[in-house]
Amino acid sequence: MAASEPGRRRAARRRGGALHSLTRAAGRGGGVAGGRGVDGRIRLLRFLFIVFLVLVGGRAVALASSSQHLTQIALSQQTASVVLPAHRGAIFDRNGRELAVGKPAKTVYATPYLLDDPRAAAKQLWRVLHIRRHRDRLALRKALEDKKSGFAYVARKIDPALAKAALALDIPGVGAYDEEERAYPMKGSAGQVLGFVGVDGNGLEGLEAVYEKELAGRPGSETIVRDPAGRTLKTVSLREPTSGANVRLTLDETIQYAAEDVLRNTLRTSGAAQAVAIVMDPRSGEILAMANAPALKGDVFNAEAGLKRNRCITDVYEPGSIFKLVTISGALADGLVTPTSRFTLPSSLTLYDRTIHESHERGVVNYSVREILQWSSNVGAVKIGMKMGKDSLLKWMDRFGFGRTTGLGLPGEATGIVPPAELWSGTSIVNIPMGQGIAVTPLQMALAFSTVANNGVQVTPRLVAQVGDTVYDTVEKRRVIPSRAAREVRAMLATAVDKGTGTKAQIPGYEVAGKTGTAEKPLPNGGGYSKTDYVASFVGMVPADHPRLVVLVAVDSPRSSIYGGDIAAPAVQKIMRFSLQHLEIAP
């Protein structure tokens, strides 16, 4: 039955109220859930945005870093720092003659990664640079084909005209820069004294090495901008190099050359292995010549080690009879003998297992000290040495400077060998007075004679007179023996040249004093002495009464004769005679 109208309205009102209550309840619950959903979405969007920013920022940093790296690469291809070598100082003789100088040169280089056709470039460069050796051509081609390389030498220190021809080829990546080549105008004269420089211009031997710091100077630099082909467009910055200082020596090139010429002829005529010569001024200690034969010249880098040594200071030898000057000078200074003291000398002398013979057979003689030196008597020198004793001999060897360097200041100078007192054997007193059983350098022996020539005062030898603006003219000297003893020894040495073993050293118009030496060479490993190899030597001084020059020549293993009077004395005579004329020293 249908509900009445009022009933329907009441029912509708009841449903509407319930629906309204339900809607409100749903509205309260739905508001909480909806709020949470919106917040979550916002947080997600925020997170994604942050991630996006990080990714974008990281990419920007990466691009910036890559851009900077690429910029650096570009700049490195467009700019370059070039070292500007300093002019190396020259070495002069005492009169200003050039002994070693810097000669302008060019070095040609290539940038291999800029070469389109390395083989073609190599062939073009071979032709204009006159590279003829097959191995040099292969080395150049290999260097140019290395595309990873940014630099390769084509030719070091060549004539600027050749470098100009190479640049005229207009090969991209091929350039040149200035360098210096060391030149020795006197064709290797004094080579062992001067030494030499390496390919990079640094001193390797001799005076070139000793004065490397002063000679080298300070290099400069410049920063240049290049085009893609490697050609220089402009200079951005420049620091000029500072030239090295010049070095002036005490050597006289004219005397040096003459001494070397005499030694060359001596080797040729005597068949000797090698020889040395020293010319000194005994008053100042200045060395006017220091010669070695064979000479050092040509390809010095591949020369034998023996040729590179300055044997005047590096090599030691048993001096033989020239050492009698020390023995007799010491005996005179001690007052043990006078020039007229006499000794009866048998033809030989035996002590323990050692028998001393004279260089030439003779019978029993009665010699004065003057005659012992004049005729270079071994037995006489031993008699005097035995009279002196071990302590006195050691004292005078030390006073004369044996057993230590001379103070010249060159590298490699040997000290020689002087056996200390505790190592003397029973026969040392027999060997040492006549110059055996000890070892000396040629310079030490020349210095001993210079001491006698300078009235008993020893002057430290000098080879360098000036470096840059600094002049080295200080004379370091010390007295070794009394002037009286020195004059007596010079007079005896003059007799030895006038009518003794040194007659081949005579010079017409001048009185020469000197002493011959013929020394047996010791066998290796203490096996005694050689019967075929000797060192023939002579040391002279002129004029005898007031010497201006002392000249030593020592010849190793001559074959035409073993005697110093035959081999070395004529060589000294030639060097002395030339030097006297050159220096205008009056008779």
What whole-number distance in Å separates Cα of residue 421 and Cα of residue 520? 23
Say what the pLDDT of residue 285 is. 97
- Amino acid identity at 57: G
Does residue 321 have an active-site annotation?
A: yes
Which class for 214: exposed (0-12), middle (13-18), buried (19 or more C-beta within 10 A)? middle
| Architecture of the domain delimited by 253-582 | 3-Layer(aba) Sandwich (3.40)
For the entire predicted model, the pTM comes to 0.82
Say what the pLDDT of residue 49 is. 72
Say what the pLDDT of residue 21 is. 47
User: Bridge-partner residues for 98, per DSSP?
Assistant: 92
Exactly one of 189, 270, 321, 377 is catalytic; which is it?
321
User: Bridge-partner residues for 83, per DSSP?
Assistant: 221
What the block records as the tokens of 407 is: 């103070």
Say what the pLDDT of residue 99 is. 96
Say what the pLDDT of residue 58 is. 66
The domain 82-114+122-249: what is its CATH number?
3.90.1310.10
* Helix runs in 145-233, H state only: 160-168, 191-194, 206-210, 212-216
Can you give the pLDDT of all 587 residues of the chain as single tens digits? 444 555 555 555 555 454 444 444 444 444 444 555 667 777 777 777 776 777 766 666 665 555 565 555 555 556 767 677 788 999 999 999 999 999 888 999 998 988 989 999 999 998 999 998 888 899 999 999 998 888 899 998 899 999 999 999 999 889 888 888 899 998 889 999 999 998 888 999 999 999 999 999 998 887 767 666 556 667 777 788 899 999 999 999 999 999 999 999 999 999 999 999 999 999 999 999 999 999 887 667 677 777 889 999 999 999 999 999 999 999 999 999 999 999 999 999 998 888 999 988 899 999 999 999 999 999 999 999 999 999 999 999 999 999 999 999 998 999 999 999 999 998 999 999 999 999 999 999 999 999 999 999 999 999 999 999 999 999 999 999 999 999 999 999 999 999 999 999 999 999 999 999 999 999 987 778 998 999 999 999 999 999 999 999 999 999 999 999 999 999 999 999 999 999 999 98
User: Bridge-partner residues for 222, per DSSP?
Assistant: 82, 238
Domain boundaries along the sequence of the chain:
82-114+122-249, 253-582
Percentages (nearest 5) of helix, strand, coil residues in the chain: 45, 25, 30
